Amino acid sequence: MNADNRRPLRILHTEASTGWGGQEIRILDESAGLRARGHDVRIAAVGGAPIIEAADKRGIPFFEIPIDHRNLSALLALKRVVTQFKPDVIVTHSSTDSWLTALLFGFRRRRPGIVRVRHLGAQIASGTLNRWLYGRVPDHVVTTGEATRSMIVNTLGLDPSHLTSVPTGIDPARFRPGDRADARTKTGLADAGFIIGIVATLRSGKGIRFLLPVLQAPGLHDATLAVVGDGPQEQALRAQAAELGIADRVVFAGRQQDVVPWLQSFDVFALPSIAIEGAPQAVMQAMAAGVPVVATPVGAIPELVEDGKTGVFVPVGDTEAMAHAFERLKADPAMRQGLADAARRFAEANCTIAVMIDLMEDILRKTAQRHP
């Protein structure tokens, strides 16, 4: 295996997910960034998954293999890819591909380095099996937030040096403030008035069902809610908007290839998550674009948003508190601008792709050195 710091690494990312969201975008951005530094990076994912199409468009080599199931076929397919590519480091991202990698290499001395990235902030179970999967199999574990890192360390009793928090980075040259009128023309929101926006995969954990009723608040009778993204909860949310009598003020934009003009159209960004988050890319993107954030303080979100300085926190599931926060921000443009400016400065200093790539490259090199 290649352990020379002066030579490029061969890096294989594995991803069993067939969905689309921040996790997949991070893999693509990290792969592209490391390839730009001369490393040979490839992605192994399920045929037809959105990440495959996106990798193809970005010129990132990929392998299409059925690693979305824990069976012999998937195990043999992954083994063929590893035998063919001979990676110095395998970076696993979801439960199933991490299991398959563990089965292939967890009991072997001579193997590639293994890094497990835990994107989700949800609580993991204690026990011997997870201590093996997180503590013994991977050479290192990366989380997307310090809260997740601490949770894993405390739950499994792992050495804290075995895990590193590496927040997902964004491109501040792309995600930046823009001409709001021009952005609203591009997105079809020119006549929308005050816009509350969210960019997310429409899952129940995002808490969007608690966001929709805010449009019934007296101070928000002329506001519009723009929902950018798709997912399993879309039809239920559309039905809820109709039942609340606000369907004409809710724009379901679907998944957008380029969310920048949407962010630039928003007056306020909302993320009312009820599930434990990692460090949400959409929050960082909004902050970099100069949009004040109203969010719930779950998971690693408080590592990004400081209440009253770079955003506003509201209690989980509290529609009334959310409505009050939006009404305050709607009535006080100076407050919105102050939050937006502070958020932009924080994002530029702490949330860039360059910072993420620097940290990941160092971890991957150290991992490769353990398996010369």
For residue 69, the model assigns a pLDDT of 94
pTM, rounded to two decimals: 0.81
Per-residue pLDDT of 158-177, as tens digits, reads 999 999 999 899 898 999 99
Per-residue pLDDT of 4-38, as tens digits, reads 567 899 999 999 999 888 899 999 999 999 999 99
**What's the one-letter identity of residue 365?**
R
For residue 2, the model assigns a pLDDT of 44
Q: Which CATH number fits the domain 180-350, given the four candidates 3.40.50.2000, 3.40.50.300, 3.40.1390.10, 2.102.10.10?
A: 3.40.50.2000
Per-residue pLDDT of 323-363, as tens digits, reads 999 999 999 999 999 999 999 999 998 889 999 999 999 99
CATH 3.40.50.2000-classified regions of the chain:
10-169+352-369, 180-350
C-alpha span between 361 and 34 (Å, rounded): 7
Per-residue pLDDT of 272-300, as tens digits, reads 999 877 788 899 999 999 999 999 999 88
Q: What CATH fold (topology level) applies to the domain 10-169+352-369? A: Rossmann fold (3.40.50)
